[in-house]
Amino acid sequence: MIDIIGGLYKEYCDSGRWSELYGSGLRAAAALSYRCDDVRLKGCVGKKDIATANAVAGTFGIQLAASLIDETVSFSYLHGLASPEIFPKPARASVPLTLVGDNVLAFGMIENDWQIVGKRVVYDPQDPVHPIGFRGRENCQADLLAIVCNSNELRLLTNVEDITEAALALLSMESAEVVVVKCGARGALVCTSNGVEKVPAFRTSSVWPLGSGDVFAANFAHQWACLENEAVESALAASKATAFYCQERTLPIPLDVEDTLGKKLSPIVLNDEAKKKKIYLAGPFFSVMERWMIEETRSLLSQSGFDVFSPLHDVGIGSASEVVQQDLRGLETCDGVFAVLDNLDSGTIFEVGYARARDLPVVGYAENVAEESLKMLEGTDCHIHRDFVSAIYILQWVMGE
């Protein structure tokens, strides 16, 4: 049995054609519906959406106890790594939700607070701006506590920059048994009183990140709280479950992920020096739309830890005699290339060919390019992907190994 408390939200994502009622709480409950005989969920949902929420919960065999609010909170994403637009701005309920249980998974919520008393509690703050520690919440108790958070939340909770030092600090601050830090393409860090261990992410053919952290937290909670497995073992199982979700975009998570996929999952072991590698951002920037794409890609690559050389930003626009040699000198200083291939810009194609002639790895994003037009790139071992977010993740793996 597991009790889950968390958001029921509408989710929209332009890239990936996603329009669903899930949110952290409902997604986590659905993810575990093959693994737990008794999954109970508390959350808030708008009056107009209660029938849909009950139908989704019923499909997965979830016992839903929903508190009604005026309107379900919605999250709208341009792509899976974009910051969402949240509407309407939720007014926090004056009466917090309450939960008493043996095995509890608790997600931070933007529309309500909660009070929890549990024996084994897994807490995911779910707040990119002002996360609150579990022990700092009013009327909350846990005999044994595990905190699952991402690296940004960890730094905000501790004011410590180094991830390992921050995890150890949070372990002490929260009197927790374990702190698990989700590190995206780099897997997870598991911190206990016995030390700190890394758990890898697993290679997939594509990456759907929306809700992947919810799936990780849910499967860790099942392993650590319900089955009482060791923290590292629990995080490893959660990482495999998350890989399945990221590739298949389906719930619930099967009992044996590798049997369902028909193959063993391959761990991704990244060199710590990967963060310092320099990436050449190739792509056209001759219209507002093209410039937006370069800006967005540059931002995501920087957030992924790369030093980015962008001809638009580092050289600028000019005649061939003014910019070409500067662009090529920049390319010669880089360790790899990320190429925006839509529109098949001649300069971008030249840069890709120049990079491959120098044996530099190339990852390309080509959402609207005919297969025939990509033949030379694929035939020279460029990594071409139709999905933007998948291409960003694949670049991290390619450059990190």
pLDDT tens readout for residues 31-82? 999 999 899 999 999 999 999 999 999 999 999 999 999 999 999 999 999 9
Q: How confident is the model at residue 272 (pLDDT cuts 50, 70, 90)?
A: low
How confident is the model at residue 373, as a pLDDT? 95
Q: Is 207 exposed, middle or buried (0-12, 13-18, 19+ CB in 10 A)?
A: buried
| 227, amino acid identity | L
pLDDT at 292 over 90: yes
The SS3 assignment for 322 reads helix
Structure confidence by residue, pLDDT tens digits, 100-143: 999 999 999 999 999 999 999 999 999 999 999 999 898 999 99
How many percent of the chain have pLDDT more than 90? 93
What pLDDT does 274 receive?
45
For residues 160 and 240, membership in a common domain is answered with yes
* Residues 192 and 300 occupy one common structural domain: no
Tell me the CATH number at 386: 3.40.50.450
Which of 262, 258, 221, 223 lies closest to 243 in space, CA to CA?
Answer: 258
Q: Which two tokens stand for residue 272?
A: 């710590």
- Calpha distance 363→385 (Å, rounded): 8
Is the domain of 226 the same as that of 77?
yes
Output the CA–CA distances (angstroms, integers) from residue 135 to 7, 140, 172, in the order listed: 20, 7, 11
> From CA 366, how far away is CA 379, in angstroms rounded?
15
DSSP codes of every residue in 121-176 = EEEE---SSS---STTSTT-EEEEEEEEEEHHHHHHHH---SHHHHHHHHHHHTT-
Which among 28, 59, 31 is positioned nearest to 41, based on CA atoms? 28
pLDDT value for 276: 78
3-state secondary structure of 86: strand
Q: What are the phi and psi torsion angles at 279 (to 5°)? A: -115, 135
pLDDT single digits (tens) 345-377: 999 999 999 999 999 999 999 999 999 999 999
Question: Domain check: are 291 and 222 in the same one?
Answer: no
218 and 330 in one domain? no
Whether residue 128 has a cis bond before it, omega within 30° of 0: no
Convert the pLDDT of each residue in 312-337 to its tens digit. Answer: 999 999 999 999 999 999 999 999 99
Regarding whether 76 and 38 lie in a shared domain, the answer is yes
> What is residue 314's DSSP assignment?
I
With a CB cutoff of 8 Å and minimum separation 6, the contacts of 288 are none
Return the closest-CA partner of residue 265 out of 241, 229, 234.
Answer: 241
* Residue 90's pLDDT band (cuts 50, 70, 90): confident
pTM for this structure? Answer: 0.94
The DSSP symbol for 94 reads S
Q: What are the distances in angstroms from CA 121 to CA 178, 275, 323?
A: 11, 33, 58
DSSP track, 212-269: HHHHHHHHHHIIIIIS---HHHHHHHHHHHHHHHHHH--SS--SSHHHHHTSPPPEE-
Which of 217, 236, 268 is the last residue before a domain boundary? Answer: 268
Tell me: do 264 and 329 sit in the same domain.
no
Residues 246 and 133 in one domain: yes
Q: If you compute the radius of gyration of the chain from its CA atoms, what whole number of angstroms results?
A: 22
- For residue 200, give every residue at least 6 positions away whose Cβ sits within 8 Å of its Cβ, in sequence order, or none: 187, 239, 267, 268, 269
Bridge partners (DSSP) listed for residue 309: 280
The domain that contains 146 carries what CATH number?
A: 3.40.1190.20
What is the number of domains present in the chain? 2
- Pair of tokens at residue 235: 């995080």
What is d(CA 118, CA 236) in angstroms, rounded to the nearest whole number?
A: 24
CA dihedral 351, 352, 355, 357 (to 10 degrees): -110
Of 213, 246, 268, the one marking the end of a domain is 268
In what helix (H) or strand (E) does residue 349 lie, and over which residues does it extend?
helix 346-357
Do 296 and 320 reside in the same domain of the chain?
A: yes
Q: 296-318 in b/e burial notation, b at 16+ Cβ within 10 A?
A: bbbebbeebbbebbbbbeebeee
Domain with 188, as residue range(s), is 2-268
Tokens representing 381 are 């071992």
User: CB count, 10 Å around CB of 138?
Assistant: 8
Q: What is the mean pLDDT of residues 22-31?
A: 98
Summarize the confidence of residues 176-181 as an average pLDDT: 98
* 180-232 residue pLDDT tens: 999 988 899 999 999 999 999 999 999 999 999 999 999 999 999 999 999 99
The whole-number pLDDT of residue 16 equals 87
Same-domain status, 297 and 212: no
Same domain for 350 and 296: yes
Compute φ and ψ for 267, nearest 5 degrees: -70, 145
Show which of 215, 242, 268 is a domain's final residue: 268
Instruction: Assess whether 283 and 216 both reside in one domain.
Output: no
